[in-house]
Chains A and B, each alone.
Chain A
């Protein structure tokens, strides 16, 4: 399943801002990304699929958009 990934803030500095990925579900996507960018395992970020926050695994359908959003602290 080809999905679109958008990364923000410090996560984008690791993965790049937007890219396509191939994964059947969110857990697989996460573990693929961690294989590719091991430092991601230590980072905390929220994940949204199609602009809704998800807290559990999620089975993708074609063209889903996944957003990786780290917390910002600056003020």
Chain B
């Protein structure tokens, strides 16, 4: 038994938790994928609680629109790597914890290696490609996965790959065997989210981690909880095992690595280059590049560089307006520009260089504000 550490005094005195519970936390290694709205509270509370080792995976930088809900970051952190800022702040919170930061986007080449070093994986990502990838990797490695996701005023929480009393475990595919088309869903950028929501849902995830490690209470195994912050109603449904969906998961490491999750999630970007704001500003300077705004006429904000406006609603009819062989498309959030890029790719294939601004004009604004 480790010696008494006053930092955890309130855990020691807690009935059914005590020194023994604290010791279990101290021995655990937890990987948090995504250091955004959900990731921030998960990280803060797990680090505060005395988890032995924490890994953070994120490739993003702090932007001003994150600050409304991503409470690890301050105004002065805008433009810095999230993992670097998070590691610094978490170290100040609890220097007794070992924190490993990975500035990478989770993908099929790094997921299995990263995950195998940790006991529990916490999914705090913000897109379906990452969520299915993480689910499948955890299934292959038989790692407990603490799932959380949000939409406007509601969140979902579930614990996967943990066996119930009958030895049965489920995964995300039992709930949603195949991902929705990107055009039928909206993300936080587009749909909006009340800043407190990821705080609440993230803390449900952190709570499930602690319950799972220490054995207190009932972990919500094989169940999905939906929680609304508008009326505090929670709705819990039982997830049933469905062997036919398990067959959808890559059967081994090799087939996992060969799976294109972006394509699988309908984000079929084959032949289409996705660019971020920094690359966008570089590329539009190149002569003979057509920069096409596919938003509808009158949509704000206006831009201060030269563009051709061809709204997506009558895009196909107006293709003859495009003479250039290098085409950059953009819209508000990156969805319509992807759709337009797919239309162009179907028509011209590799004969023209087609790229689109991945997260839309919102990201251009953020770069300018920095």
Within the complex, the shortest CB–CB distance from A65 to chain B, in Å, comes to 10
B185 near A67 with CB under 8 A, answer: no
A-B contact count (CB 8 A): 100
- Give the docked Cα–Cα distance between A75 and B148 (Å): 8
B239 within 8 A of A: yes
Q: How far is the CB of B125 from chain A (nearest CB, A)?
A: 5
In chain B, positions 154-194 with a C-beta closer than 8 Å to chain A are 154-156, 174-176, 178-181, 184-188, 191, 193
Contact A72 B237 (CB under 8 A): no
Cα–Cα distance between A38 and B339 once the two chains are bound (Å): 22
Cβ of B128: which chain A residues have Cβ within 8 Å of it?
A: 71, 73
Does A6 reach chain B (CB closer than 8 Å)?
A: yes
Q: Which of the listed residues B156, B193, B240 has the most CB atoms from chain A within 10 Å of its own CB?
A: B156
- B179 touching A72 by the CB < 8 A rule? no
Range for the number of chain A residues in contact with chain B: 20 to 34
* Closest residue on chain A to residue B197 by CB atoms: A74
B34, CB-defined interface residue at 8 Å: yes
Looking across the interface, which residue of chain B has its beta carbon closest to that of A49?
B237
Q: Tell me if B37 and A43 are in contact (CB < 8 A).
A: no
- Complex Cα distance, B148 from A72, in Å, reads 9
B131 at the binding interface (Cβ < 8 Å): yes
B50 interface residue (CB < 8 Å to A)? no
Whether, in the assembled complex, B126 has its beta carbon less than 8 Å from a beta carbon of chain A, the answer is yes
Are B126 and A75 in contact (CB-based, < 8 A)? yes
Contact A51 B237 (CB under 8 A): yes
Cβ A10 vs Cβ B184 within 8 A: yes
Beta-carbon nearest neighbor of A12 in chain B: B154
Interface size on B, residues (CB 8 A): 44
How close is B198's CB to chain A, nearest CB, in angstroms?
Answer: 7
Question: Which residues on the A side are within 8 Å of B149 (C-beta)?
Answer: 71-75
Q: Is B181 a contact partner of A73 (Cβ separation < 8 A)?
A: no
B224 touches A69 (CB 8 A): yes
Question: Out of B39, B152, B175, which one reaches A75, CB within 8 Å?
Answer: B39
CA distance A23 to B14 in the complex (A): 51
- Contact at B237–A48, with CB atoms within 8 Å? yes
Q: Are B184 and A75 in contact (CB under 8 A)?
A: no
Q: Does A2 contact B (CB under 8 A)?
A: no
A31 to B236, CA, bound (A): 25
Can you list 21 A-B pairs, Cβ within 8 angstroms, ordered by A? A8-B235, A9-B151, A10-B151, A10-B185, A10-B186, A51-B237, A51-B238, A53-B238, A55-B240, A69-B226, A69-B237, A71-B128, A71-B175, A71-B180, A72-B150, A74-B37, A74-B126, A74-B150, A74-B151, A74-B188, A75-B149
* Interface residues in chain A, defined as those with a beta carbon under 8 Å from any beta carbon in chain B: 6, 8-10, 42-44, 46, 48, 51-55, 67, 69-75
